[in-house]
Structure 1
């Protein structure tokens, strides 16, 4: 994982779908190649509507599991 984006830095606000499209464009990726996390369901829904993969953030363990399940980090060994 090499790119992090924050809505305030882009001058856009969630849940504006343009935010998610702007993030994808800024890193040269398709929205479907990006995994978005948010702790507000309507922001998750907006990312999904823009074509991204998005999950509601509920805890660090859940977030780590989601990253693994979506192929963003390797399964722990051993």
Structure 2
């Protein structure tokens, strides 16, 4: 499933990133195994707002989470958090 066009990864808050990960049923270590060159620390810093990932890494991460969620779920998290 392609990422919904109504939500841009660059516009997501740190809390929205965390909620997307949890809603998609990923733990930080699982994400680390799924995406090359992303470490648990990167995910933690992204979700705490202390570090931004490159746009390409954010897009890859967003696509991973989006594959497990409906567009409505993604939009609700993005718009409310």
- TM-score if structure 2 supplies the norm length? 0.29
Query: Higher Cα Rg: structure 1 or 2?
Result: 1
Q: Whose helix fraction is larger, Structure 1's or Structure 2's?
A: 2
Q: Whose strand fraction is larger, Structure 1's or Structure 2's?
A: 1
